[in-house]
Amino acid sequence: MKLATWNVNSVRAREERLLAFLDRHRPDVLCLQELKVVDGDFPLVRLREKGYFAAIHGQKTYNGVAILARSEPEDVVCGLRDGVEDPQARLVSARVDGVRVISVYVPNGSEVGSDKYAYKLAWLKRLRAYLEQHHRPDERIVVCGDINVAPDDIDVARPDEWKDTVLCHADARAGMRELCAWGLFDAFRKCRPEAGLYSWWDYRMLGFPKGNGLRIDHILVTKPLLEQCSGAEIDRNERKGKQPSDHAPVLIDLATS
DNA sequence: ATGGTTGCTTAGCAA
């Protein structure tokens, strides 16, 4: 199974790029974040023509997540459903070819100390609680998406510049570690231990031309899947050319039957 | 250097 995750930063603005990406890589599963559309405006028909089904959890203007798959997603669940009043569409889960796939868009957090940062840290805790309630670490599970955390300094081109921002702050990193402590492993990093691999570059300050990148998009897998990871890449070409998202897609190969 | 850019929605927010 070839699985990918990509924060497209508006599925309407990125529709042509999305279709071209699917042609180029033909992933079995593609998790999307920041759709910025309601379900009815998602380009279902054109994706179906490409051979992809979709599980969508959309929202007007902000957020929105989806799972595209070449076989029909089963047992689709939207949102954390933990009783917290929360209108933000940041999680969709579905079973695809016997693998539980969970596409997440973790809150960015804006500024350390802000209400948005508190929401980010709380959301990471809620995600861990969601896994505890609904799943077991011995299942075949992929949690992937824009986690909005660079887990270590090796994941940051210029650590001094990003130190103590919401993407690198100790509390955000601890939140991601606590999430993973449930039983998730960084599948991309297992395959690609080298430095210099990033998935996001700020539009501002010419982040991409200056090589000022961070690895904040992740593919986390449970132990049964970790051993099946045979390769991983980030498609930096998606960050180039006309109208790129600020994120590049992250891909892994899983040796599932 | 409180800058810079993009998307959604139309002046301001979020990233």
Report the percent of chain A where pLDDT is more than 70: 100
Measure A220 CA to B6 C1' (Å): 28
Report the percent of chain A where pLDDT is more than 90: 99
Question: What does the alpha-carbon distance between residue A211 and residue A52 come to, in Å, rounded to a whole number?
Answer: 33
Ranges of H-type helices in A50-145: 115-134
Helices (H) and strands (E) in chain A, counts: 7, 14
Residue A56 has pLDDT above 70, yes or no: yes
Give the active site residues of A.
105, 146
Q: Give the bridge partners for A105, in sequence order.
A: A146
Question: What does the alpha-carbon distance between residue A256 and residue A100 come to, in Å, rounded to a whole number?
Answer: 13
Residue A122 confidence (pLDDT): 98
Residue A161 has pLDDT above 90, yes or no: yes
* Sequence letter at residue A185: F
Domain count for chain A: 1
Kindly state the average pLDDT of the residues A98-112. Answer: 98
Kindly state the average pLDDT of the residues A209-218. Answer: 98
Of A46, A38, A47, the closest CA to residue A65 belongs to A38
Residue A257 confidence (pLDDT): 65
pLDDT tens digits along A111-124: 999 999 999 999 99
pLDDT tens digits along A182-203: 999 999 999 999 999 999 999 9
Here the CATH number for the domain that contains residue A127 is 3.60.10.10
Phi and psi at A35, nearest 5°, equal -65, -40
Of A52, A146, A133, A67, the closest CA to residue A100 belongs to A67
The two structure tokens encoding residue A155: 């994941």
pLDDT tens digits along A57-72: 999 999 999 999 999 9
Q: Give the bridge partners for A53, in sequence order.
A: A69
Strand B atom within 7 Å of A181 CB: no
Strand B nucleotides in reach of protein CB atoms, 7 A cut-off: 4-9, 14-15
Of A73, A93, A64, A74, the closest CA to residue A28 belongs to A73
Residue A256 confidence (pLDDT): 82
Kindly state the average pLDDT of the residues A75-86. Answer: 97
Question: What does the alpha-carbon distance between residue A98 and residue A145 come to, in Å, rounded to a whole number?
Answer: 19
Question: What does the alpha-carbon distance between residue A103 and residue A217 come to, in Å, rounded to a whole number?
Answer: 11
Could you tell me the residue range of the domain that residue A120 belongs to? 2-254
Residue A129 has pLDDT above 70, yes or no: yes
Residue nearest to nucleotide B14 (CA to C1'): A62
Q: Which nucleotide is nearest to A12 (CA to C1')?
A: B7
Question: What does the alpha-carbon distance between residue A252 and residue A250 come to, in Å, rounded to a whole number?
Answer: 7
Kindly state the average pLDDT of the residues A96-118. Answer: 98
Q: Which of residues 61-90 of A touch strand B (CB under 7 A)?
A: 61-62
Kindly state the average pLDDT of the residues A123-151. Answer: 98
* Sequence letter at residue A236: R
Residue A247 has pLDDT above 80, yes or no: yes
